[in-house]
Structure 1
């Protein structure tokens, strides 16, 4: 049996504040702590050991959107397109067979990337070739970039495509400050549900280098492309997140999780300049009997701007199966000069790389509702190197850095609050400034309880 996943009342954000329980004559001190903590923003969830965006909110077929995302409506024509600002997350929707426009106002020096995640709504159907198309165009309708993502199976799940405007490029149409447009298109095949897909859009920027020509103008060659020796350490439990924003931090090691048919889990791995990432997914055996499920498990690798680098899928017939992402080069600025269709080009930034794992809905038809055991073997090799020499800061800040906080999250349990230890002390620890208020409330209740007990005895 796997761990039980908790689903809160609201699928797309935090539940509202919960009223504190009635004050009976004899009140448990821990209950007082939890009650006081729920008065803080996010307190009810923190008291339960849950953080915003964590997979504890998720159910098969759901996605944990960024709770701070702004709503934006895509336009059918460019003249009505709403503006997207970098370092801001947006939510929108994409009707069947539609093409929508969003506007960017860009400077002349920054590279800008826009990732679009499409999420079919619960109960909908898709075909393997249903697709999400994303491009960035200039004011004259010429494309700066173009990307397409498909589902690859009949199991609906989040997919992401991306667009980019590179300031220094051989295509002069995409150079210079001005107005650009993000074009998001949905292509459906016969058999798909007509329901709209929900969207999460994330535009970010990368500054130019301090010195022109500071790096090579072609992708490095001769890197180590051999598969490493598999890690053989004991697996550590780590629960995946429900979306990109709430992805759970993992690092080098062996990690175990459970997932159910139709569920998608998100993990992030800090990878610095000069380091190589290797990832293997293993789906454990089951005692049930069933037929072969094609593309039963899909694992996709996305880079820090949420652009897909590579993916693998495995077929499943009840016996344990494993698949690995093909070896990729060390992270380097010059990797961007590889062919856009080459996974090498995606390894162009340091930062958090995302592993997104989906278990097909069809697994339930053959092997039951699960949960099914998932093992991830992650290796990060090589010494960290200096950044390539940016002239400014990325937006959002630290997007292309591996920070001490990133490393601590890997060791400490990712984005979630540890379930071990004293729950009351955990609430106080994460309460920040509000912890003092909680402590005062606890001491007051403690005194009240002591006095009432004294009078009763």
Structure 2
């Protein structure tokens, strides 16, 4: 009996240790393109953006356009030269934003001019807004898209309550990838301001060229593969690794009246045999607004030698929506601003493994009071709070927007510890009760029950000291 219980308890302890060890190991994700800590870099395919949301099937005509609901993310597919149409119902008060992103699989063939066209139209065919996002001459496939808007009080068209449509058209050359691409779409509404409200103008931080943040201890970040899983980072220095063919997303909380600047330093990397490899547009940094609208993008050549890119946003102000500069117009609300770091697939011919990246995030200015909205702007992703800033620890986020890095694994470890403790205590109680009932030394070998015993004899054998107490 003692040997049996000792073996069971030991097995429980070993299982608990294994689970806790696994949780502890998983709580520190390995950089992209590398194995567990301390091991040599391992070959791994580039991580890609898996479309999320509710399935929807875009129509070919406005009459059959399926309706989209506010504050909802959808997924669909789109073929070359295909147009998909979706319906949105708008009131006469709220501003509206509808985004669409095409997600070509890794290694897809694309050429200059390939991409997607977005158009928001009213029921009478008037164009409310349009965006045309295409690939450059570098031939690098990556997530591509933006958002279109209906702005109340700024535009003169599309101000009435009515049924509107979003059309998404995929442009594709005959030599480009012939397969259908996943689409991710999202529709949000921004409430109007309360009557009589005047928005504060943006503070003036000057026009001097941006300078990178250099003070502070670098911390580890683990960029996500989409807006949904973007790693939350705040003012500070963050390090990550990005594989050729990957686009990694990070999000920065920027409040009303604040200005964000992000430098992305692409460090040197081990060069492959041919040091003459030159990849035009080898690295890229792109900024997006809280409603997934593309703000700006820049790229640089990369062949293993250090280079740097930066994006400086305008100070956040509600009044920016009336600005003449489109890059300023797109920074018209507080919230999470997204920054995507891309490495061209051909960089794999120039360097070995992942490219080390250092993000220098600098959010300047004191947060101003939010304008008085006549409704909750949070459903559109507008606004941040103190918790958003303090929780921006570099971990990727899950679909609900919460950190899914170390905290989740830490919870698993504690849960395993609790479950293991309960198991060991239960075995101890069982052992003690069986020992009292047995009335003899625990090392005594009970008399074996023959296979020919009757049912009543087998029932009587329960008094031999085996099994849980009768109360169980």
TM-score range, shorter chain: 0.7 to 0.9
Contact 1:223–1:329, Cα closer than 8 Å, also in 2: no
Shift of 1:237: 1.2
The whole-number CA distance in structure 1 between the counterparts of 2:428 and 2:120 is: 66
Q: Which ranges in structure 1 are unaligned for 5 or more consecutive residues?
A: 1-22, 38-43, 430-434
> Residue 93 and residue 428 in structure 1: after superposition, are their counterparts in 2 closer, same or farther (change >3 A)?
same
The whole-number CA distance in structure 2 between the counterparts of 1:50 and 1:112 is: 39
Contact 1:55–1:241, Cα closer than 8 Å, also in 2: no
Tell me whether 1:446 sits opposite 2:424 in the alignment: yes
Q: Aligned to 2:411, which of 401, 426, 441? A: 426
> Residue 170 and residue 345 in structure 1: after superposition, are their counterparts in 2 closer, same or farther (change >3 A)?
closer
Contact 2:47–2:225, Cα closer than 8 Å, also in 1: no
Structure-2 residue corresponding to 1:11: none
Contact 2:255–2:367, Cα closer than 8 Å, also in 1: yes
SS class of match (1:27) = helix
Tell me whether 1:155 sits opposite 2:163 in the alignment: no
User: Greater CA deviation, 119-128 or 136-145?
Assistant: 119-128
Contact 1:61–1:156, Cα closer than 8 Å, also in 2: no
Q: Deviations over 1:261-296 (max 9, x none)?
A: 001101000000000111111111123124211011
The whole-number CA distance in structure 1 between the counterparts of 2:313 and 2:141 is: 28
Structure-1 residue corresponding to 2:178: 194
Tell me whether 1:281 sits opposite 2:264 in the alignment: yes
Shift of 1:223: 4.7
Q: Aligned to 2:149, which of 164, 178, 183? A: 164
SS class of match (2:213) = coil
Q: Report the count of equivalent residues.
A: 407
Q: Return the TM-score normalized by structure 1.
A: 0.80
Contact 2:28–2:406, Cα closer than 8 Å, also in 1: no
SS class of match (2:97) = strand
User: Greater CA deviation, 185-194 or 222-231?
Assistant: 222-231
Shift of 1:342: 2.4
Shift of 1:387: 1.0
Contact 2:65–2:87, Cα closer than 8 Å, also in 1: yes
> Residue 76 and residue 61 in structure 1: after superposition, are their counterparts in 2 closer, same or farther (change >3 A)?
farther
Shift of 1:316: 1.3
The whole-number CA distance in structure 2 between the counterparts of 1:179 and 1:263 is: 38
> Residue 297 and residue 45 in structure 1: after superposition, are their counterparts in 2 closer, same or farther (change >3 A)?
farther
Structure-1 residue corresponding to 2:359: 376
SS class of match (2:103) = strand
> Residue 254 and residue 108 in structure 1: after superposition, are their counterparts in 2 closer, same or farther (change >3 A)?
same
The whole-number CA distance in structure 1 between the counterparts of 2:80 and 2:394 is: 42
Contact 2:95–2:191, Cα closer than 8 Å, also in 1: yes
Contact 1:65–1:245, Cα closer than 8 Å, also in 2: no
The whole-number CA distance in structure 2 between the counterparts of 1:286 and 1:78 is: 51
The whole-number CA distance in structure 2 between the counterparts of 1:182 and 1:212 is: 32
Tell me whether 1:385 sits opposite 2:379 in the alignment: no
Structure-1 residue corresponding to 2:40: none
Q: Deviations over 1:141-160 (max 9, x none)?
A: 11100011122231111112
SS class of match (2:175) = coil
Contact 2:51–2:183, Cα closer than 8 Å, also in 1: no
Q: Which ranges in structure 2 are unaligned for 5 or more consecutive residues?
A: 1-6, 35-43, 398-402, 436-441, 444-472
Tell me whether 1:365 sits opposite 2:349 in the alignment: yes
Structure-2 residue corresponding to 1:294: 280
Tell me whether 1:257 sits opposite 2:240 in the alignment: yes
SS class of match (1:26) = helix
The whole-number CA distance in structure 2 between the counterparts of 1:337 and 1:263 is: 36
Q: Return the TM-score normalized by structure 2.
A: 0.78
> Residue 265 and residue 185 in structure 1: after superposition, are their counterparts in 2 closer, same or farther (change >3 A)?
same
Contact 2:86–2:165, Cα closer than 8 Å, also in 1: yes
